[in-house]
Amino acid sequence: MYLALPAIAAKAAEAQFNAARLGTVYGFAYLRGFLHALYDKSQDGADMYSKWLSRVDSEFDAALKSRNFASILSDYVDSMIDLRRMFRDAGYPVDYMDRAFDAYVHNMMVFSNIPGRFNLTPSDVVLTNGKTRLLHYRVDGQKKGAPLLVIYAPINRYHILDIEPEKSVVRRLASGGLDTYLLDWGHPGPGDDSLSLKDYVGYVEAAVDFIKKSGAEKVSILGYCWGGIMALIYSALHADSVNRLALMAVPVDTSQDDTILAHWARALDSDRIAEEFGHMDGQMLDLGFILRNPPRFAFDKYVRFFEKMHDRGFVDTFTAVERWLYNTPPIPGNLYRDIINGCYKRNALFKGEMTLDGRKVNLSKIDVPVLAIAAEHDDLASPASTLAVLGAVSSKHKDSMRMPGGHVGLCVSASAHKNLWPQVARWLSS
């Protein structure tokens, strides 16, 4: 152990240097935003804080998508992976260090530690498959219509689709006459690191087969974000089992995904991350979401919260979303690697070059009605990337719906529940 200390110290110095390089990019973005706001005469009616925030948005968007930042970020992550490996080889308890880091990050997220339970729509667990559960929703007084399987992303938990009774996507769909099921991926542990995209699509197949046992010949599917990737793959391989396919904020053509996280995903070595850690850490993802724009995601939203503390409905939704947002489970290493390499780096799913268990995944095999749902200001999956699916499938009936707001707003905004989800329910029922 002691013989390794000089090498560890050298690698730690390298990692610290790369961290300083990252900090410099952020620091200059803050400074440029302040200087532009200070001399900006186009927003004379706005206060200095609002002008600075607006300017910082554009500064971060340009800086964090640049090749220079991608290179620095890649160097930093590589140096941290090397450092962890050296600690591990020297006999240090790296697993304990990882848990301590996760606890530290989680405790930083103040609202995530507020006690309370989600007021979930009643459901029955009708199938378990490893950590995965198939939930079947019960909404009093509603007749059961066409079966629908909702596939959530393996990031965070499914609660965002059932955040509170008045803003519950699954309740809205069930109330619209759909016999609604949802795949809950659970909370993967170290024993699940080997799970791959093939395994997750297999869980989808098992869920559809179970639902079909109720008498339905086909099942409609609604896929959200990365859950939509699994919905697309399953539908391309099993089009004869799908009635209708709705895709909500799904990064389909990743060459058109211009979000910050998409740029970072293409820059980082997912193979090294999966090999060293076994998974993508949930708290590391939490930090990544914040670092897209720290003023917005670590400061301004709490300013807005305190401005609206008199609004009980706003406070309840805000705290529920915060508890959901920072309850991010790890993503199994092989699944993370399959999606980053296959979708973001090679764009193989959209190009028809992806294979799963020896079978070619060709989106043109999908000939059922397809609906693409996009948020106009989505900073996790660009609208153009989502809407591109309509040009890849061979369906005769292709529709799209666009809503103002962002990725999460599709699930929790009042306007989405008033204008979007009744339309989606009608489209899926037709």
Q: Is 225 tagged catalytic? A: yes
Contact 230, 224 (CB under 8 A): no
φ, ψ of residue 224 to 5 degrees: the values are: -115, 125
50 Cβ neighbours under 8 A, 6+ residues apart: 43
Pairing of strands 219-224, 147-151: parallel
The active-site residue, picked from 159, 263, 279, 407, is 407
Percentages (nearest 5) of helix, strand, coil residues in the chain: 60, 15, 25
Contact 122, 138 (CB under 8 A): yes
Closest of 114, 139, 136, 118 to residue 127, by C-alpha? 136
Four-residue CA torsion sign, 213, 216, 218, 221: negative
Contact 422, 403 (CB under 8 A): no
CA-to-CA separations, 246 to 397, 398, 413, in angstroms, rounded: 12, 10, 19
Q: Is 378 tagged catalytic? A: yes
Closest of 365, 387, 369 to residue 429, by C-alpha? 369
Q: Is 407 tagged catalytic? A: yes
What are the b/e assignments for 170-200, b being 16+ CB within 10 Å?
bbbbbbbbbbbbbbbbbebeeebbebbbbbb
Q: At 309, list the tokens.
A: 């503390």
Q: At 289, list the tokens.
A: 């979401």
The active-site residue, picked from 378, 379, 411, 417, is 378
Distance, CA of 371 to CA of 424 (rounded, Å): 9
Which residue is listed with tokens 């059932």?
Answer: 162
Distance, CA of 217 to CA of 205 (rounded, Å): 14
The active-site residue, picked from 136, 184, 193, 225, is 225
Catalytic residues: 225, 378, 407
